[in-house]
Each structure stands twice: as structure tokens, then as C-alpha cells.
Amino acid sequence: MKYEYCKTDFIYEISRSDSSVQSGSVFDSTLQNTWKDALERGVFRYVLNIQHSKILEGKFSFVAQLNTDRALKRRAPEEITSLTQPFDHDRFNFTKIDETEILFELRRKCDTSTNRHCVIINESPLEFGHCLLLPTRLNCLPQIATQYSLQLAIEVMLLSSNPAFRVGFNSLCGYASVNHLHYHGYYLNYSMLLEHISVQHLSGPCFILVNYPAKGFVFQLPSDKRPETLARDVFKLTNFLVCNNVAHNIYITRGTDFSSSHTNSKICNTVRVYVWARKSSSGAKQNDAFNPAICELFGHLSVKTEAAYWSLTEEQVVEMLNDVCEGPFGQVTDSVKELFED
């Protein structure tokens, strides 16, 4: 199955008032229907079963979900030793998946190249619709964000009209479990703080997130509404981090414009892209509750055990996020400011 799109399909402003996860654009319907069909066919490692969900008490409104199946039944992550570890054809990669795992091929109508992008299931889902976007799957690129793939991920976000849809990327040494270029997509039906939190200008198009335990960098869809402009700006930062051997995570979400004073607005009028410089996952403090990967930095905590879920507090989460991000953020901020002053 193929899903083809062009720029006229992009949706730049959506309402938060639609509380139904299973709704949205033609893209949303395509993703949700193929994902549910795969679920019925038994393609996943387990049937998604989030045993409990809650918002942790405190000012950051962290969302905690108990998903013991993901902790126990997912494929063992690949051993990652370097941020620039080469692609290895002999290890598991997405050319080795079964055809039943492919939901659909994704293609820009105006793209004259032979690039083939796939959307496949994440066989160990953490939420409804959890899928993987595989840019140029057969090119066998390592898990390093390219400007082209960032633009594709942003365009996928613009194809969805559901405010619950999110896209994320874990770098190598940032909890990526497969060294083959991929982005995560899924639906999280909560209004999240980072959709509207205030940010501070750093330089050029780059802003910083400081009133939050996981300090990081953030960009938004520019006034020209061109996803290629946003992708170029984000790539400028991620490429700098790769060149300086700094692990990182990227999260793409709908939200309010940085200049908006209406934090509780029901309208999402931009796309926000968060980039966190972070400690290598091999050097991060281990936690029985959750792994501090991309979703957790955003405030969505997939908790491993029932004991950890019931005892988890905002203070514990704040400590973990600070430990992961504060040092690397402080070390690179001045250089990032200079990077965008040109």
C-alpha cells in the first residue's frame, strides 16, 4: 500500500478540542486503520496493554503509564558504542523485517527520486498507533538524523490533524535500540506542558527550554511555513552535536507559537521541535522506573514495573531528567549560540 502526498495536504493549524485519539486527517485514518489491522493479525510481540495511566502530582504534569510488556517482551537493544557507529548489515536492521510489519510506503508526489520511505509497526508498542518512519529504508543509513529525514518527519507531522500525534528520534548513545535510520510516531492523548511552555531566545531561530528539568533547545515552524526551513535549522544543531560526539534526542509536537501569551489556547498553531543534548545512555544513571529516552524527556514516562509506577514521584523524575541533561546542555549552549549567530 502507498500513501502519496503533496504540500497542499499539510495542515498548519489544528484544534486541541478533539479529544478522540482515533480521528483526524486522511493520513491519520491510513495509519490508524493499517495499525489496527496489523494488531488483529497478531504481528506485534504483544497486544498493547497500558495497565494504568496517571498525571504525577506537581507543576510539570508528567504523564506516567505502566506498560510492563514493553519492558519484558521487546527485542534486546543493539549494543551501541559510538554516536557514529557504522551500519552493520549482519546485525538486525529494518531490511530484515517481515513484509507483514510494513503498514504502507510513504511518497511525496513531487519527488522524482527513487527514494522509498516506509511506515512500519513498532512491534513493541508503548502507545496507540506506535509506528516507525523509515526514510530511504533500503539505503541502509545509520541512526544519524539527516536534513532530508528531518524534513520528512516534520512533513509527516503536518499531514496529521490530530493533536495527539507525536514524532521522536533517539540518537545512538541516546537509547536508540537499532542502528538503522528511523523515527518513532505515536498518539499520546494528553495535553502536554511542552506544547505551550514559555521558552527563551538564544540566537537566530534557536530558543532554549530552561524552566523545565530537561533543559534543551527548541525550534518552531517559521513564518514561511516551510518544513525545509525548520529541518535545516534543526539539522544545523544535530549535526553539530554529532560532530562533537554529544548524544541527543529529538521530539516533534504540535503546540502554540513561542510568542503566544495564551498558554491554554485550544489552537495549535505551530510545530515545535525539541532537541536535548544528553548524557550517553551508557553513562546515564540507571533507574528501575523508566529509561530516560525521548518520550521521557518530553514528559511521557513509560514505566517498567508496577512497584515503580505506584511509588513514582515528580521529585524522582526531576532528579533523573536533570542528571541526564543539565551537564551536556551547559557544556554546549555557548557554542550553539555562536552557531546560530551567523
116 pLDDT higher than 90 = no
45 pLDDT higher than 80 = yes
Using the Cα atoms of residue 291, residue 294, residue 298 and residue 304 in order, give the sign of their dihedral. Answer: negative
Q: What's the Cα-to-Cα distance from 182 to each of 75, 152, 207, 263, rounded to whole Å?
A: 16, 11, 25, 32
Q: Enter the pTM of the model.
A: 0.96
Pick the catalytic residue: 182, 196, 248, 300? 182
pLDDT value at position 18?
61
The stretch 280-291 carries a mean pLDDT of 73
- Phi/psi of residue 15, each to 5°? -100, 140
User: Residue 324 and residue 246: Cα distance in Å, rounded?
Assistant: 12
Using the Cα atoms of residue 3, residue 10, residue 132 and residue 228 in order, give the sign of their dihedral. Answer: positive
Q: Are strands 52-55 and 63-66 parallel, antiparallel or unpaired?
A: antiparallel
pLDDT value at position 299?
98
Cβ contacts of 310 within 8 Å, gap of 6 or more:
none
Which range has the top average pLDDT, 66-70, 155-159, 290-294? Answer: 155-159
Alpha carbon 5 to chain centroid, angstroms: 21
User: Residue 160 and residue 10: Cα distance in Å, rounded?
Assistant: 8
pLDDT value at position 19?
54
pLDDT value at position 262?
52
Which tens digits make up the pLDDT trace of 72-81?
Answer: 888 878 888 8
Please tell me the least confidently modeled range out of 21-25, 92-96, 160-164, 282-286. 282-286
pLDDT value at position 81?
86
**What is the DSSP code string of 64-127?**
EEE-HHHHHHSPPPPP---TTPPP-TTS--TTSS-GGGEEEEEEETT--S---EEEEE-SS-SS
Report whether 296 contacts 44 (CB < 8 A). no
Specify whether 300 is catalytic: no
Which tens digits make up the pLDDT trace of 145-184?
Answer: 999 999 999 999 999 999 999 999 999 999 999 999 999 9
Helix axes 147-159 and 227-243, enclosed angle (nearest 10): 140
The stretch 15-43 carries a mean pLDDT of 89
Domains of the chain, CATH where assigned: 2-339 (3.30.428.70)
pLDDT value at position 73?
81
The stretch 102-108 carries a mean pLDDT of 96
> Over pLDDT 70: what percentage of the chain?
96
Which tens digits make up the pLDDT trace of 208-247?
Answer: 999 999 999 999 999 889 999 999 999 999 999 999 999 9
Question: If you search the block for the grid coordinates 510488556, which residue do you land on?
Answer: 69
